[in-house]
Amino acid sequence: MMKRRAIFLTLILCLTAALCGCTAQDQPASDTAAQSATVQEDAPYTQIDTAQAIRLMQTEKDYIILDVRTEEEYKSGHIPNAICIPNETIGNGEIGALKDKNQLILVYCRSGRRSKEAAQKLANLGYHNVKEFGGIIDWTGETVTGSE
């Protein structure tokens, strides 16, 4: 009788744990990755490739090419007419060089990591037409050295 009761209580505890114990923290990594991917897809900036960026530079008139690398990296070689605003300096305040929040802003860095961060920061600041196109390491067009 005691053995049956112990088995019965163990079953009830296991069922209770199974029904109540699953929280968002216990989700498998694949579920968490899927949720993160959804957040990325919903980012309020657009990710484009280098070819699309070049097409925009050829067809659009009023745009800014934004290099978010350090000043030293910028001076060592950047896309012509790009302005440098290092990612680390983009915060919560207004950015003097980027007055029009509806203007097309094409953002790049060295490899694409900082440009994604900067594009998200700009979107969070209310910029509505931000296109991130990765890094200069993938750039096949002209580059210039020094500061403009």
The confidence band for 40, taking pLDDT boundaries of 50, 70 and 90, is: very low
Q: Report residue 86 as tokens.
A: 């290092």
Question: Residue range 79-84: average pLDDT?
Answer: 98
Asked whether the beta carbons of 65 and 81 are under 8 A apart, the reply is yes
The confidence band for 92, taking pLDDT boundaries of 50, 70 and 90, is: confident
Q: What is the dihedral of CA 94, 96, 101, 103, to 10 degrees?
A: -160
The confidence band for 147, taking pLDDT boundaries of 50, 70 and 90, is: confident
Distance (Å, whole) CA 93 – CA 71: 20
Q: What is the dihedral of CA 7, 9, 13, 15, to 10 degrees?
A: 70
Is the pLDDT score of 23 beyond 60?
A: no
C-alpha pair distances (Å), 57 with each of 21, 128, 140, 146? 54, 18, 14, 21
